[in-house]
Amino acid sequence: MTEIRVAIIGGGGFMGTAHSLGWALAPIAGDAGATIRKAVLVEATEERAKLAAKRLNWDDWSADWREVIARDDIDVIDIVTPPSSHAEIAIAALAAGKHVFVEKPIGNDLADADLMQAAAAKATTVTQVGFNYRHAAAITFIKRLLDDGTLGHPLQFRAHYTQDVGVLGRVLSGWRAQKGAVGSGVTGDIGSHIIDLASYLVGDIDAVTAIVGAKDPAENSAWLSDEERRGGRHLDDAALWMAKFRNGAIGSFAATVFASGRKNRLFFELECTRGNVEFDWNHCDEVRLSLVSDPAEQQGFRTVSLNENHDDYWWPLGGMGSGYVDDAALQLQKFVRAIMDRRPGSPSFAEATRTQRVIAAVMQSADTHQWVTVDEVTA
Ligand code: NAI
Ligand code: SOE
C-alpha cells in the first residue's frame, strides 16, 4: 500500500494537536486508501518543535520549514500556522511538488488567496483547505438530501457562529485579535466556516450587505463607530450580513466572539421548497428535518440520529458519539483519498479563495454601507 509521508508546519499549537490526532486516526477509522507516516513536525523554535514532536508522536522535528519542504522523503505539507504565513509556505510547497493541506481561512486576505489559487492551478499536486465542519456526517447527509432533490430548491439559509471568548476577555492566540499583526477578524476566523457551509450546501454567494462591530474588550460599552473601528487597532469582533445566492436563494449570517454562554456554537437552518433542515454543531450527530410531504398529522420537525447507514459516520452502531477529532480525521482521510485519485480536495484552493472573496465583500460592504457583488471585489 502507498505510504503518504506528512510534514506539519506549526504543529505545536491548537490545530497541531487536532491534526496530529486526525492523521493518526484517519487510516484506522476508515479506509484512507494509503497508510500515513507522521514524518516531521515543524515549529517556530527548536525547543517547541522537539517538545511538540515528542508529545504528538511525530518521527522527526525541525525549526526550518524551508529545509523540510526541500526534502524528497515528504509528500504532504500540512500548514497549521497563523493565516498570515499560509501563502508563503503553501506556494513554496506547491513549487516543490508537494500536496498541500492548509488550515482555514486560506490566507490572511484576498491578495494571499489569489496568489495561492494561481499556484495551485499551475501545480499537478492536490490541495485542500481545513473547512472541517463540511465533512461532518450530518453535513454529508444534508448535502445528499439536497443533491437527490428530497429537500427541493434552497430558499433561505440562516447561520450563526457564536463564541464567548471575546466577552470573557480570553483570546485563544494573540495573533487573532490585532490589526496589522496577522489576524483576519471574526469574519475571516469563524464567519469563514459558515460561508464555506453555505457555499457547499446552497451554492455561490453573489452579493452581500454587512454591518461589523469592533470592541475594546476592556470597555463595558457597545461597538466602536465605523470610523473608530477603521482607525483603531481592533479587527471585526462581530459581523452580520445578508446575502443573495446565484441560484436565487437568500441568506443571513452572524458571527461574534462576544456571545456569553456560547461555546463554539455553529448553527444553521435551511428552508427549501420541499422541506427544512436544522443543524447545530453542539449536537453534531443529529439533524432536525421537516418534509412538506410528511402526513398532515405528523408535520413538524423530527430528529434524525446519525448512524451506520449514513456516509461519513464511521462506527458500526449509531449513538456512539462523534466530535471535533473525528471531523479533523474525516477531512484528512478525504484529502488522502483525493491524493490517491489525483482530484482536487474539498474545498480546493479555488473554492476557499471564493470564500475569501466573500469575506472581503463583507468587509467592503461594512465600510461602504452598500451591497457588494462578490465577483467585483478585488484584492
Ligand atoms: P496557534 O497559535 O495555536 O498555533 C500556531 C502555531 O504555529 C504556533 O505553535 C506557532 O509557534 C507556529 N508557528 C508560527 N509561525 C511559524 C513558522 N514560521 N514556522 C513554524 N511554526 C510556526 O494557532 P491555531 O489556533 O492552531 O491556528 C492555526 C491555524 O488553524 C489558523 O489558520 C486558524 O484559523 C486555524 N484553525 C482552525 C480551526 C478549525 O476548526 N478548522 C480551529 C483553530 C484554528
Ligand atoms: C477561534 O476561536 C476558533 O479556534 C477558529 O479559529 C476555528 O476555525 C473554529 O473552528 C473554532 O474557533
Pocket of ligand 1, candidates 103, 109, 331: which has the most ligand atoms within 8 Å of its Cβ, to mutate? 103
Burial (0-12, 13-18, 19+ Cβ within 10 Å), 73:
exposed
Q: How far apart are CA 55 and CA 20, in angstroms?
A: 10
Please report the atom of ligand 2 found closest to the CA of residue 103: 8
Q: Tell me, what's the pLDDT at 177?
A: 66
Q: What is the pLDDT of residue 172?
A: 63
Asked whether 83 lines ligand 1 (CB < 6 A), one says: yes
> Which ligand 1 atom sits nearest the alpha carbon of residue 79?
29
- Cα end-to-end span (Å), the chain: 43
Write down the pLDDT at residue 171: 66
**Contact (Cβ atoms closer than 8 angstroms) between residue 69 and residue 94:** no
Q: Whose CA is nearest to atom 16 of ligand 1?
A: 44
Determine the atom of ligand 1 nearest the C-alpha atom of 324: 40
Parallel, antiparallel, or unpaired for β 154-162 and 302-305?
unpaired
**What pLDDT was estimated at residue 183?**
61
| 42 Cβ closer than 6 Å to some ligand 1 atom | yes
101 lines ligand 1 (CB under 6 A): no
| Residues 118-144: b if buried by 16+ CB within 10 A, e if exposed | ebbeebebbbbbbbbbbbbbbbbbbee
Phi, psi of 212 (to 5 degrees): -125, 155
> Which residue CA neighbors atom 2 of ligand 2 most closely?
172
pLDDT of residue 217: 66
Give me the residues of the chain with pLDDT under 70, please: 171-173, 177-183, 217
- Residue 63 Cβ inside 6 Å of ligand 1? The answer reads no
CA–CA separation, 99 and 121 (whole Å): 13
Task: Answer yes or no: is the C-beta of 53 below 6 A from any ligand 1 atom.
Answer: no
The pTM is what? 0.97
225 Cβ partners below 8 Å, 6+ apart? none
The three cell numbers of residue 82 are: 497563523
Give the model's pLDDT for residue 221. Answer: 82
For residues 229 and 238, the answer to whether their CB atoms sit within 8 Å is no
What is the CB neighbour count within 10 angstroms for residue 214?
24
What is the structure's pLDDT at 173? 66
Q: Residue 92 and residue 65: Cα distance in Å, rounded? A: 10
> How distant, in Å, are the alpha carbons of 154, 355, 373 from that of 109?
29, 11, 17
Query: How far away, in angstroms, is 228 Cα from ligand 1 center?
Result: 29
pLDDT at 209: 98
303 lines ligand 1 (CB under 6 A): no
Ligand 1 midpoint to CA 84 (Å): 10
> Ligand 1 pocket: which of 8, 9, 15, 55 to mutate (most atoms <8 Å of CB)?
15
* Ligand 1 atom closest to Cα of residue 12: 9
Torsion of CA 80, 86, 92, 94, to 10 degrees: 80
pLDDT of residue 182: 54
Judged by its nearest atom, the ligand closest to the C-alpha of residue 83 is 1
> Which atom belonging to ligand 1 lies closest to the Cα atom of 52?
9
| pLDDT recorded at residue 23 | 97
